[in-house]
Amino acid sequence: MKKYICPICGYVYDEAKEGVKFVDLKDDWKCPLCGAPKNLFEAEAQVVEEIEELEETDELREMSYGEISALCSSLARGCDKQYLFEEAKLFTKLSDYYNKKSKTKTINNLDELLSKINEDLEKNYKQARLVATKKEDRGALRVITWGEKVSMILKSLINQYEQDKNFINKTKVYVCDICGFIYIGDNKPEICPVCKVPSFKLLEVGKEG
């Protein structure tokens, strides 16, 4: 008997209590709390990953326009929180300006996006977590934990979309305005399963036209 854990909200599926083996659950079984699909669940005993030595490089890198735009919109939020509305407006204007200057990245299908997400999950987030743990940076650990969970959700949603393009047709799409979690379904959860913010921060993305 094993326990399986929802990587998004932490819900525990306990085979001993449920009386049904996890593998025997239907493929379309979903986390009863947050709707995460079955294939995301992880068995409780985890393999401890090897710790590699990560070295600091001193490369000074130019920021892309897309990065500049995102930093400006981040600072706009920072000003907004401090009630500096004039400053927030200016940062938002800068963010829009650099967003227009930045180029889109051509892809042929969503698989290319998926492989970037996989790279984040398999390498980038793992390394970042290792370093943040070692340096005891809990703020960084928070952003890593949230980002990892949201990435997993994005991955599974893209997979679902590729399997059945109609799965969004008759329902709604919400994005958590704090952490970026996407929820696709009729009724949004009461709190964001990733960052735990109340549901009024889950904003709907409507269909255009």
Partner 1 sequence: MSSLRAVRNLRICSKDCLCLYVCPTGATDTETGQIDFEKCIGCGACSKACPSGAISMVPYQYPKQQVKDKLVVEKLNEIIRSKVEQEKMAQYVYDNSDDVVLKQFSKALIRANRLIVEDLYREAGYMLPQSQNTRDFLNKLLDENIENDIKDDIKKLLDMLELNE
Q: Which of residues 133-172 bind partner 1 (CB under 8 A)?
A: 135, 137, 139-140, 142-144, 146-147, 150-151, 154, 157-158, 161, 165-166, 168-169
- Nearest residue to 195 (alpha-carbon basis) of 120, 144, 159: 144
Return the residue of 25, 33, 117, 197 that touches partner 1, per CB under 8 A. Answer: 117
> 83: alpha, beta or left, given left = phi > 0 and alpha = psi -120 to 50?
left
Which whole-number Å values give the CA distances from 121 to 1, 5, 8, 144, 198, in the listed order? 28, 17, 14, 10, 26
Asked if 34 interacts with Zn ion (CB under 5 A), we say yes
Asked if 100 interacts with partner 1 (CB under 8 A), we say no
Return the residue of 9, 76, 128, 153 that touches Zn ion, per CB under 5 A. Answer: 9
Provide the minimum distance between the beta carbon of 45 and partner 1 in the complex, in angstroms, as a whole number. Answer: 27
Rg of the chain (C-alpha set): 20
Please say which residue, 26 or 100, places its beta carbon nearer to partner 1: 100
Provide the minimum distance between the beta carbon of 10 and partner 1 in the complex, in angstroms, as a whole number. Answer: 20
AA identity, residue 30: K
Q: Is 200 exposed, middle or buried (0-12, 13-18, 19+ CB in 10 A)?
A: exposed
Q: Which does 41 bind (CB under 5 to 8 A by kind): partner 1, Zn ion, none?
A: none
Asked if 132 interacts with Zn ion (CB under 5 A), we say no
* Residues 14-53 contacting partner 1, CB under 8 A: none
